[in-house]
Amino acid sequence: MKGGSTHLQKLEEVVEQNALLIALDDDVAIVQAPKGRTQSDKRLAMEYLEVVANASILAQTSTNFICRRKKEYGNVDADEYVEWLLPFATEIKRVLTDDGSFVLDLGGSWVKGLPIRSLYHYEVIIAFTRRVGFYLVQEFFWHNTAKLPTPAEWVTVRRVRVKDSVNTVWWFSKTPTPKANNRNVLVPYSASMLDLLANGYKPKLRPSGHDISDKFQRDNGGAIPSNLLQIANTESNSEYQRLCKIHGLKPHPARFPRALPEFFIKMLSAKGDLVLDPFGGSMVTGAACEALNRRWIGIDIMESYVEASKFRFGPVPTTAQDDCDRPA
């Protein structure tokens, strides 16, 4: 890896004998843990986290959730989950810069056989703050507008619950004042705000008690977003999925849309900063970093997922047979 930064050179030295390392450019690496490891081994990716020396401005990931059915990537039961995840949180906190952030997409779950919610994700948050020493900066709510109606037993069969389509995304930090700038994630003004900017607004005290000054009609280039992120997960129709099919590789089964990590990468880091995804999967976070000129490291234990993740980065050669198989 020529010209790479010191921490990546050290990372390469550690993994070159016992893991697959794919260098996409001088400052990018995908690491896959040694064969024979399983996700029940708490140190499966820890050794790689341990050699990244205080260099990550942002750790962005979506770890495996508590699922009612076992997944091939090795999801853990609810009663084991907190203790399984804590060692990763400890190492993530160690490698963060003092102004760095850790963003965790952690979906909720249901108690097996009952139409009631598990509390495991709240237990994770309490453990992260009380036992690891993270600060909980803010929680976000990712509304997946394309989510299927689940759990089917309670939503579509018995009709006693509504569709569970919101994940909580937790923003943690090492200190109370992490690097952040909401100007980087402004959203378009509403029609009413555009009208206000065009026609003016008379400053006055609103019935709620809020004093709206004339600064309210200043055009700041967009509106400050809320902590409700409405992003459809349509990854099933993506180029990544198509190329996996063409090349006979199994796609990662739990992909999130690129717009989700992009939001936090824009808000919590700057160009040239390093982003770490310790549960890389199909490397969606890495693809977002490439588009936004951030350096990044992605870690995963499944060789097939690492191999298929290359489809997210640049053109992939296809054969004449591939071309014939595509629909016109």
Q: Is residue 122 part of a domain?
A: yes
Q: Which domain holds residue 202?
A: 188-223
Do 238 and 147 lie in a common domain? yes
Q: Is residue 305 part of a domain?
A: yes
Do 124 and 237 lie in a common domain? yes
Do 259 and 306 lie in a common domain? yes
What is the per-residue pLDDT across 154-213, written as a single tens digit (0 to 9) for each? 999 999 999 999 989 999 999 999 999 999 999 998 888 887 787 777 766 667 766 666
- Please report which confidence band the pLDDT of residue 243 belongs to, taking 50, 70 and 90 as the band edges: confident
- Domain end marker among 200, 223, 246: 223
Domain count, the chain: 2
Question: Side-chain half-sphere of 88: how many Cα atoms within 13 Å?
Answer: 25
CA pair distance 119, 131, nearest whole angstrom: 18
CA pair distance 39, 162, nearest whole angstrom: 32
pTM: predicted TM-score of the whole model, two decimal places: 0.77
Q: Is residue 328 part of a domain?
A: no
Do 70 and 84 lie in a common domain? yes
**CB of 92 within 8 A of CB of 274?**
no
Q: Is the pLDDT of residue 253 over 80?
A: no
- Domain end marker among 197, 223, 249: 223
Do 86 and 206 lie in a common domain? no
- Domain end marker among 166, 200, 223: 223
Q: Is residue 323 part of a domain?
A: no
E-only strand ranges, the chain: 20-25, 28-32, 56-61, 96-106, 135-143, 166-173, 204-205, 211-212, 228-230, 274-277, 295-300
- Please report which confidence band the pLDDT of residue 75 belongs to, taking 50, 70 and 90 as the band edges: low
CATH number at residue 103: 3.40.50.150
Do 207 and 275 lie in a common domain? no
Do 57 and 193 lie in a common domain? no
Q: Is residue 321 part of a domain?
A: no
